[in-house]
Amino acid sequence: MGMNGPSTYGELRMYILKDLKYYTGNPFIAFVRRYFFEPGFRFTFWLRTTRMLHLKGKKGVNFLLFTFSWWRLKHWGHKYSFDISFQA
* Residue 4 placed within a domain: no
**pLDDT value for 71:** 93
- Per residue in 16-68, pLDDT (tens digit) is 877 777 766 666 777 788 888 888 888 988 998 888 888 888 788 888 899 89
Split into its structural domains, the chain has a count of 1
Phi, psi of 6 (to 5 degrees): -70, 140
Nearest CA to 18 among 53, 39, 48, 57? 48
* Residue 2 placed within a domain: no
Question: CA–CA separation, 76 vs 73, rounded Å?
Answer: 5
pTM metric for this prediction: 0.68
Question: CA–CA separation, 32 vs 4, rounded Å?
Answer: 26
* Residue 30 placed within a domain: yes
What is the rounded radius of gyration, in angstroms, for the C-alpha atoms of the chain?
13
Question: CA–CA separation, 51 vs 37, rounded Å?
Answer: 23
* Residue 1 placed within a domain: no
> By residue range, what is the domain housing residue 49?
9-80
Q: What is the torsional sign of CA 9, 10, 13, 18?
A: negative
Amino acid at 27: P
